[in-house]
């Protein structure tokens, strides 16, 4: 692969989120001309080129894409996500921009509500006539950061999934995205992203315990109780229902495959859970 950084302009949607903000840092480090898309550009970090984009307002899209060569497409999960991302594709067609889409694990199979939000966009990309690439990461390691019980009481809880999961670090997703956005040879490719190993939740708890030097246990709740807890913690019902259905889809298998994509595209091994816990030890206690 050869570099294509040069004067190419990359628009990053979802710029204020975990993946988008990490990606913008990588692109700046590579010397790429990156522009962050924000609902309120005034909230962009100092020194970050920014434009106003509201995926719910299609009229903001084409103006934001003028002079843009590539769009990194990352829509927020919501009932309107598919419509929002399809609007981005329509705008990209008008300006002839390449699209690199962040999707989800096994989106083409539509196994969960979240996958079914992404599948129509992937299908539209394939017939769009645009240059495109799709990234399909597995469960994020960063989801553990929401588990305040690890620090407070040495426990974490998720809806029951019995089978192993090849969790992936958001930093590796950003590294892969930066590589794809700044080198050629990725057109028409779909990349599945995972960590270096698949772990069950009890195995994850044991890893937390080893790194933190304290007991940590996993509490798996039945679907109804898990949903009630998620909603009680302030999660919107749509998100809670989607996460429960993801757990059902992968409860007994389907998220355990391990790929070499991170190493292949970035040159460094994928970060594992132990490395992630160590890096966030201050949060987990």
Task: Say which DSSP state 247 is in.
Answer: H
Asked if the 9-137+169-193+257-270 domain carries CATH number 3.60.15.10, the reply is: no
Comparing 278 with 8, the larger pLDDT belongs to 278
Closest to 85 (Cα-Cα) out of 111, 107, 66 = 107
* The two structure tokens encoding residue 124: 């539209």
Domain layout of the chain by residue ranges: 9-137+169-193+257-270
**Which tokens go with 35?**
């522009």
Which tokens belong to 19?
């993946």
Would you say 10 and 181 are in contact if contact means Cβ atoms under 8 Å apart? Answer: yes
Judge whether residue 190 has pLDDT over 50.
Answer: yes
pLDDT of 5 above 70: no
User: Per-residue pLDDT tens for 203-257?
Assistant: 999 999 999 999 999 999 999 999 998 999 899 999 999 999 999 999 999 999 9
Query: pLDDT confidence of 7, banded at 50, 70, 90?
Result: low
Phi, psi (degrees; rounded to nearest 5) at 220:
-100, 120
Tokens (6 digits) for 240: 């809670």
Q: What sign has the CA pseudo-torsion 86, 91, 92, 96?
A: positive
| Cα 89–Cα 85–Cα 69 angle in degrees, nearest 5 | 40
- CB-count exposure of residue 27 (10 Å: 0-12, 13-18, 19+): buried
Instruction: Kindly report the average pLDDT of the chain as a whole number.
Output: 95
Per residue in 93-151, pLDDT (tens digit) is: 999 999 999 999 999 999 888 999 999 999 999 999 999 999 999 999 999 999 999 99
pLDDT of residue 2: 44
User: What's the pLDDT at 233?
Assistant: 85
Cα distance between residue 20 and residue 211, in whole Å: 28
At 189, give phi and psi (nearest 5°): -100, 145
């Amino acid at each position: 692969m050869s570099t294509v950084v040069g004067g190419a302009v990359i628009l990053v949607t979802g710029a204020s989120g975990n993946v988008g903000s990490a990606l913008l840092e990588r692109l700046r480090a590579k010397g790429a001309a990156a522009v962050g898309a924000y609902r309120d550009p005034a909230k962009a970090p100092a020194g970050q080129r920014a434009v106003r984009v509201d995926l719910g307002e299609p009229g903001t899209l084409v103006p934001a894409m003028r002079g843009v060569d590539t769009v990194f497409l990352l829509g927020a999960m919501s009932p309107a996500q598919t419509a929002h991302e399809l609007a981005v594709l329509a705008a990209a067609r008008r300006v002839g921009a390449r699209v690199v889409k962040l999707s989800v694990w096994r989106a083409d199979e539509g196994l969960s509500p979240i996958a079914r939000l992404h599948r129509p966009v992937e299908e539209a990309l394939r017939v769009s006539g645009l240059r495109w690439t799709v990234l399909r990461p597995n469960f994020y390691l960063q989801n553990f950061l929401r588990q305040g019980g690890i620090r407070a009481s040495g426990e974490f809880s998720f809806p029951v999934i019995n089978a192993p999961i090849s969790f992936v670090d958001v930093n590796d997703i950003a590294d892969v995205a930066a590589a794809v956005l700044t080198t050629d040879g990725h057109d028409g490719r779909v990349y599945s992203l995972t960590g270096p190993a698949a772990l069950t939740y009890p195995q994850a708890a044991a890893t937390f315990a080893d790194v933190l030097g304290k007991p940590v246990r996993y509490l798996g709740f039945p679907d109804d109780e898990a949903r009630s807890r998620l909603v009680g913690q302030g999660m919107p019902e749509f998100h809670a229902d989607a996460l429960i259905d993801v757990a059902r889809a992968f409860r007994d298998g389907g998220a355990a495959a391990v790929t070499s994509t991170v190493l292949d595209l970035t040159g460094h091994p994928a970060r594992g859970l132990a490395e992630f816990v160590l890096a966030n030890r201050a949060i987990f206690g």
